[in-house]
Structure formats: C-alpha cells, structure tokens
Structure 1
Amino acid sequence: MGEIDLDGPEPLFEQVAAAITRRIAAGTYQVGRRIPAVRAIADEFGVSQSTAEAAVRLLRERGLTRATHGRGTFVIAKPEEPAADA
C-alpha cells in the first residue's frame, strides 16, 4: 500500500489518482486496457469507495481514462511527459 500518506496534506483521492497515473506511465495499466474496479482500488489503497470514485473521476477529467457502461474504466492515454527544457 505505501503509495499514499493517510495523514498527509494532499487529499487522498489525489494521491490515489497520482499512484494510478504513475502505473499508467510505467505501463502497468496499458492504453486500451482496463484499470481495476473502484471497489478493488478502495481495498488496495485502504480508502473509501467514494474516495476511489473521486480518484477515477479525476483520471477521466485529466483525459487518461474513459468509462464504458457495464465494462469498466479503460486507459485511453498516457500522462504527458514534462518538457525537458521546462
């Protein structure tokens, strides 16, 4: 679990979204493949389902995933790499 800080200042849903984003960037969750269900994310990270839902919603808002009714949430893009000269 050690990817999130339950007592840290950053909201839990943002920490969970960041952890999943890192997995997408690393190829653990590949473009075109499904990410775990909200319940599984909640269980893995030790957060409520509403926190896990907020994390998944944030990934959609950032354009990384798309929900397909009855099928799950799929990765549609890798996160943008920061510019080397920035």
Structure 2
Amino acid sequence: MKAQVSDYCYMAIDLDGPEFLRDQVAAILRARIESGEYPPRRRIPPEAEFIEEFGVSRPTVRAALAILEDEGRIVTRRGKGRFVAGAES
C-alpha cells in the first residue's frame, strides 16, 4: 500500500536510517506543502523551529530547504523569510 501525503507530515526523523537527514526533513516539509498545511504564498516556520522539532543541525535544515527551493516549492525573500511558492511568488 502506498503511503498518503498526510502519513509523511509528522513522521519522526530516523537518525540511524540509511537516508540522509536532509532528505528526510525535505520529505516531511514537502508533504506538509502538498497537504496544504503550508499554503501557497504563506511564510513557513523559521529554521530554528525545524531544528528543535526534528533535532537536527542548522546545516541539515538549510540543506533540506535548499532542496525544496531547487524544486520550486519554496522561495526565499531576503529579510522576510521563506515562503511556499505560489502563482505570485
């Protein structure tokens, strides 16, 4: 059975698993975007919240966010933060 998007929204990070931590964090955040928890053109939580939530380092969170930015799912606005991409991003 294929996992639903919502199944990934609150998965725990597997610190000892074979998948890179950045990829696990990116997958969870991607699922939250796809589920609408983080709606288009809305600001996502700051890095510090993800660091605390997932128990990973700042470089890991930044790498995960860079993946999502490369995919076109989020955009960074200097001095404003990161936002879910949308029609007017």
Aligned to 1:11: 20
Structure 2 residue ranges without an equivalent (≥5): 1-9
Tell me if 1:40 matches 2:52.
no
- Tell me the TM-score normalized by structure 2: 0.81
Give the secondary-structure state (helix, strand or coil) at the position aligned to 2:72: coil
4+ residue runs over 2 A deviation: none
Counterpart pick for 1:24 among 20, 27, 33: 33
1:16-51 per-position Cα deviation (integer Å, ceiling 9, x unaligned): 000000000111000010111111111111100110
**Identity %, equivalent residues:** 44
Structure 1 residue ranges without an equivalent (≥5): 78-86
Q: How many residues align?
A: 77
